[in-house]
Amino acid sequence: MHGLGVSGGIAIGHAHLVTLASLEVDHYSIPPEFVAREVKRFDRAVKSVRAELDALEGELKEQHDQHAGSGDIAAFVTIHRMLLDDPTLAEEPRAIIQRDHCNAEWAIKVQTDELLAQFAEVQDEYLRERKTDVRQVAERIVAALTGQGGAVPEKLRERAEDTILVAHDLSPADVILFKDHQVAAFITDLGGRTSHTAILARSLGIPAIVALHGSREIVREDELIIVDGTQGVVIVDPDETVLAEYRLRQEQWRLERQKLTRIKSAAAETLDGVAVELHANIELPSDIDAVRQCGATGVGLFRSEFLFLNRRDLPSEDEQFEAYRAVAQGLEGMPVVIRTLDIGADKTLDPNISNNAHSALGLRAIRYCLAEPQVFNAQLRAILRASKYGDVRILIPMLASAVEIRQTLAAIAIAKDQLRAEGRKFDPAIKVGGMIEVPAAAIALPMFLRQLDFLSIGTNDLIQYTLAIDRTDDTVAHLYDPLHPAVLHLVASVIEQANLANVPVAVCGEMAGDVSLTRLLLAFGLRDFSMHPANILPVKQRVLNTDTSACRRIAAELMRSGDSEEIRAKLAELNRA
Ligand code: PEP
Ligand code: MG
């Protein structure tokens, strides 16, 4: 099978089919003589989910006795247990099987859809929000029916290292859970190259392929599969010869990565003596180990929104402060750029926190923060308080207009005044930067240069918004092109203007970690790159082999071309030079 390889490397392991995102079930009829048996099958599934929830409840109770804080989850398991005992979920599907002679999975789906539709009309907000719980209980029953029993993390506890997850789709919130249960690889039917799901796969350092279409019809549970994330190829049930070939390639990949560790502590400097900063992108405080191991000189992008996913409430100011302080202290004087909450698009808040869609063109990132001043204030106070413990900087995502810059700076000033009045310490000269990821910002750059201390180009969104291509949509993934002349002109012009104005500028989108673009970005005048820890050493090696003056000439020719074939040919020439 061929898909989009979004994270390189080779994994060989056993498939585990997961259903996380939705109730996807088949519909088939049951001959009258087997209807009673189907009802029993349904009853067994309900019984096994009941046992699963009881076990979970027991486990959580034990944890609760040891640590505070797990009470919330326990309450939520109790709600699930109650829903499971309610006749609308435990009895009604039996009647549907008997009436329609359909399979049990379908009966539970029909009943759940009906229930969810009723919930939509409920006035009471608390009750309306129980929708998610109903869906999750129904998903558990379906999982038990299809023999998948249990949520993913439970399953992964047993045999994560050689497990390859096969899913229709995975949200960034699903993938972040794998940080604790490292899997060998994952493949999905949907998704785009710079979706956050793909970005997380790269940060986990595991091979991943998206946009496979129909993988779950081809791959069976537990089947042996090979995932070649570099080529975007999945091989199902390989024979011995193919297996041997891929084991060899896997070993070669490992050796190449190992060889690179030799340059870990070398300074990143080009052949003609240009010094370059190579910073790391992180999602959670626990990523700090990887930052230290790869020899990065700081964190250029801490995607703070990952602290807000997979939970039903907002992290408090103190909780955020602890997370930011841990990173600031862990970096021992190296800088950390904390990006304020970039919620929206594919990173969604629990409906308990916000029911709005926050689409890519909607109330996303800074727009959401300015609309929710209390949420923003708590985060700004937490970042400011952490600034006492290291070299902390603030980065604002998705800015597009002067008003937003002004309002953001005012919000920071208010947070500072509050802390001062309370006698709390922080860095009063903390640097505030803006992400350049909306074309309007790149085009009207002077207002950013005047009001902000530094810039960071988010090429993932800059490409999405310039080319009007949804990053997460596999049907337009072929049109998502970092080498489109419009994108290259915007990136080159932002770097050039910032350099002229003496305002520090970095690139923190995926372009920064793509070795094939390192020389081009150097030729544009970029001296600060931020990328996943896994990309730092390959990019450093390219920096060490580059003469920027030779690159500038070829890059200038490349920029004169409007033709994509010609641009690619020039880029190849640049990389051979
Ligand atoms: C970007 O848009 O390039 C970026 C770095 O931010 P994110 O990928 O988190 O949207
Ligand atoms: Mg972005």
Condensed to tens digits (0 to 9), the pLDDT of residues 239-297 reads 999 999 999 999 999 999 999 999 999 999 999 999 999 999 999 999 999 999 999 99
In short, whether 342's Cβ falls inside 6 Å of ligand 1 is yes
Q: Which ligand is nearest to the CA of 399?
A: 2
What spacing in Å lies between the alpha carbon of 195 and ligand 1's midpoint? 9
Q: Which of 175, 194, 343, 471 to mutate for ligand 1's pocket (most ligand atoms within 8 Å of CB)?
A: 194
> What stretches of 389-512 adopt beta strand conformation (E)?
391-396, 432-436, 454-457, 505-507
In short, whether 508's Cβ falls inside 6 Å of ligand 1 is yes
Q: Is 102 designated active site?
A: no
Give the closest residue (by CA) to ligand 1 atom 4: 458
In short, whether 303's Cβ falls inside 6 Å of ligand 1 is yes
Q: Which ligand is nearest to the CA of 193?
A: 1
Give the closest residue (by CA) to ligand 1 atom 9: 303
What spacing in Å lies between the alpha carbon of 509 and ligand 1's midpoint? 5
Ligand 1 atom at minimal distance to the Cα of residue 194: 8
Among 328, 326, 267, 329, which residue's Cα sits nearest to residue 296?
Answer: 267
Q: What is the pLDDT of residue 24?
A: 67
Does residue 388 surpass a pLDDT of 80? yes
Name the strand (E) or helix (H) holding 198: helix 196-204
At residue 482, φ and ψ (nearest 5 deg) are: -65, -20
Condensed to tens digits (0 to 9), the pLDDT of residues 214-231 reads 887 899 888 999 999 999
In short, whether 172's Cβ falls inside 6 Å of ligand 1 is no
Q: Which domains does the chain have, with CATH numbers?
A: 4-16+161-245 (3.50.30.10), 32-146 (1.10.274.10), 270-546 (3.20.20.60)
Q: What is the pLDDT of residue 235?
A: 97
What's the pTM? 0.78
> Tokens at residue 354, please?
């916000």
Q: How many whole angstroms separate alpha carbon 265 and alpha carbon 256?
A: 17
Q: How many whole angstroms separate alpha carbon 309 and alpha carbon 428?
A: 30
Q: Which of 301, 302, 460, 529 to mutate for ligand 1's pocket (most ligand atoms within 8 Å of CB)?
A: 460
Q: How many whole angstroms separate alpha carbon 22 and alpha carbon 132?
A: 11
What spacing in Å lies between the alpha carbon of 463 and ligand 2's midpoint? 10
Q: Which ligand is nearest to the CA of 510?
A: 1
Does residue 22 surpass a pLDDT of 70? no
Q: Which ligand is nearest to the CA of 341?
A: 1
In short, whether 482's Cβ falls inside 6 Å of ligand 1 is no
Q: What is the pLDDT of residue 158?
A: 55
Rounded-to-10 torsion of CA 177, 217, 23, 210: 40
Under 8 Å between Cβ of 107 and 42: yes
The catalytically annotated residue of 16, 168, 196, 484 is 196
Q: How many whole angstroms separate alpha carbon 304 and alpha carbon 159?
A: 30
Question: Which amino acid makes up residue 127?
Answer: L
What spacing in Å lies between the alpha carbon of 339 and ligand 2's midpoint? 10
Does residue 439 surpass a pLDDT of 80? yes
Does residue 110 surpass a pLDDT of 50? yes
Condensed to tens digits (0 to 9), the pLDDT of residues 307-343 reads 999 888 999 999 999 999 999 999 999 999 999 999 9
More confident residue, 148 or 123: 123
Under 8 Å between Cβ of 504 and 256: no
Under 8 Å between Cβ of 400 and 364: no
In short, whether 509's Cβ falls inside 6 Å of ligand 1 is yes
Q: Is 369 designated active site?
A: no
In short, whether 390's Cβ falls inside 6 Å of ligand 1 is no
In short, whether 460's Cβ falls inside 6 Å of ligand 1 is yes
Does residue 79 surpass a pLDDT of 90? no
Q: What is the pLDDT of residue 23?
A: 61
> Tokens at residue 173, please?
């919130």
Condensed to tens digits (0 to 9), the pLDDT of residues 149-168 reads 444 444 444 556 789 999 88
